[in-house]
Structure 1
Amino acid sequence: MTTGTTVGDSAAADRIRRAAIEAFAESGYAGSSTRQITKRLNMSATAMYPHFRSKEELLYAIALDGHRAVLAALRDADDPESPVLDRLTSVVSAFATWQAEFHQLARVVQYELAALTPVHYRTITAIRRDTVAVLTSIVQAGKDCGEFSVDDVDDVVLAISSLCVDVCRWFPSKIHDDPQPLGAAYGRIAQRLVR
């Protein structure tokens, strides 16, 4: 998946990112060494450094890619000309589908952010705010036009976001192993949360 990160854009850097995603998803950021990551690629531990100055920079590149990709997925799914309930359904479906389809990447970008430097963390949280803003604008529009019955827009957005983000923690399961039907189900759940 290419999402235009500004760090480590070569093919070798992409291979290292993919190996790191697997390692971080399996063992966490703290539990994965650069040696373990590069060993997955039959490379020496020092092979990473021409592409990423540190393990933290590698995590940042992964987080940047992941957050940009999920924001793009939500924006692509939103058609401001559509009825507000259709917009919400489409965006929530895309959100949950993305979390399932890229569950290893999503697990890393959702649960390993505490390891980022303050500067990198601020960059990522700005993208997260933009992602939440997509949902907030839809729920607020539905409340304003009287189609959605919600007491607090922020609470509803938090509930929907939490439901979608949590998908990466457990997907796949015995019940759900296809991202598309899962996304559609979450879209229907979101409808019930606002009506």
Structure 2
Amino acid sequence: MDQSGKGQAGTLGGAAGKPAAPEDTRNSTKGGQTAARVRKAALRLFARQGYAAVSMRQIAAEVGVQPGALYNHFATKQDILKALMLEHMRDLLEAWGDRRAKAPKDADPLEVFVSFHICYHLSRSEEVFISYMELRNLEPENFAEVERQRQAYEAILTGILEDGRKMGRYHIAEPRVATRAIIAMLTGIPAWYRESGSLTVGRIEKIYLDMVRGSLGAAPDLTAGESG
């Protein structure tokens, strides 16, 4: 995930100087609802067309507001992208906390993580696409902020792998490298999975858990051949 890059912040043509600072209405109930609509519209457009190809005017049209009204909520297109990525990572970390708290005490932490990651990401394909494919378009300071959240999530799996290695369950030289490889593999599932296909989510979880365990030198999941 050591990717970097600087994208262009979207602006409205013809506006002189820097956009005005967001107004306090952004914090009102109505303002908050509009900001949420802006994020939702931008998410759809970015996923469909790519960040670079989408203008602030397009986002405004999708929301159904005048282009200038967007500045009450987001000064630039870059701010919208940053907000989308941070929201995705914060929701992900919060959801993991809930899942971990509900897991049985004797549950295999690796199995819980793999199952959680697959299910969570399959239900949010647009967010997943944006959070990985548009990283290169984040400006350096925004990239650093998002990357801190990503590293916090990676640290969860790294901790699981390090604990497993200490217990002799996993045979890996570099848990952090293994973490990135595993997350990359699991996150790629939404790109090809279709609900209409022959594989259920449960079956996919078992197949991927077996592959993950195999990559760690652990015993395979003998139930991976069963339908889920």
CA RMSD between the two structures: 2.5
User: Letter of the aligned partner of 2:128 in structure 1?
Assistant: A
- 1:13 is displaced (CA, Å) by 0.5
- 1:21 is displaced (CA, Å) by 0.5
Question: Does residue 1:112 correspond to 2:127, yes or no?
Answer: no
Alignment partners' CA distance in 2, 1:177 and 1:31 = 34
Question: Does residue 1:137 correspond to 2:140, yes or no?
Answer: no
- 1:50 is displaced (CA, Å) by 0.4
Quick one: structure 1 residues 171 and 23, their matched pair in 2 at CA, closer, same or farther if it must change by over 3 Å? farther
- 1:26 is displaced (CA, Å) by 0.7
- The match for 1:62 is 84
Alignment partners' CA distance in 1, 2:172 and 2:180 = 13
- 1:183 is displaced (CA, Å) by 4.3
Alignment partners' CA distance in 2, 1:104 and 1:178 = 20
Alignment partners' CA distance in 1, 2:83 and 2:208 = 29
Instruction: Provide TM-score, normalisation by structure 1.
Output: 0.83
Alignment partners' CA distance in 1, 2:143 and 2:69 = 25
Quick one: structure 1 residues 171 and 22, their matched pair in 2 at CA, closer, same or farther if it must change by over 3 Å? farther
Indicate the structure (1 or 2) with the bigger Cα radius of gyration.
2
8 A Cα contact 1:35 1:45, kept in partner: yes
User: Letter of the aligned partner of 2:125 in structure 1?
Assistant: H
Q: 1:121 aligns with which of 143, 150, 159?
A: 143
Question: Any unmatched runs of 5+ in structure 1?
Answer: 1-7
Question: Any unmatched runs of 5+ in structure 2?
Answer: 1-25, 219-228
Q: Secondary structure at the match of 1:40?
A: helix
Question: Does residue 1:193 correspond to 2:215, yes or no?
Answer: yes
- 1:44 is displaced (CA, Å) by 2.1
1:8-23 maps to which residues of 2 (within 5 A)?
10-23=32-45
- The match for 1:51 is 73
- The match for 2:18 is none
Q: Secondary structure at the match of 1:119?
A: helix
Q: Secondary structure at the match of 1:30?
A: helix
Alignment partners' CA distance in 2, 1:188 and 1:73 = 24
Count of equivalent residues:
187
**Percent identical across equivalent pairs?**
24
- 1:181 is displaced (CA, Å) by 5.3
Question: Does residue 1:172 correspond to 2:203, yes or no?
Answer: no
Q: Secondary structure at the match of 2:63?
A: coil
Alignment partners' CA distance in 1, 2:199 and 2:84 = 24
Q: Comparing 34-43 with 179-188, which one deviates more in the overlay?
A: 179-188
- The match for 2:96 is 74
- The match for 2:122 is 100
8 A Cα contact 1:135 1:157, kept in partner: yes
Instruction: Provide TM-score, normalisation by structure 2.
Output: 0.72
Quick one: structure 1 residues 62 and 192, their matched pair in 2 at CA, closer, same or farther if it must change by over 3 Å? same
User: Letter of the aligned partner of 1:127 in structure 2?
Assistant: Q
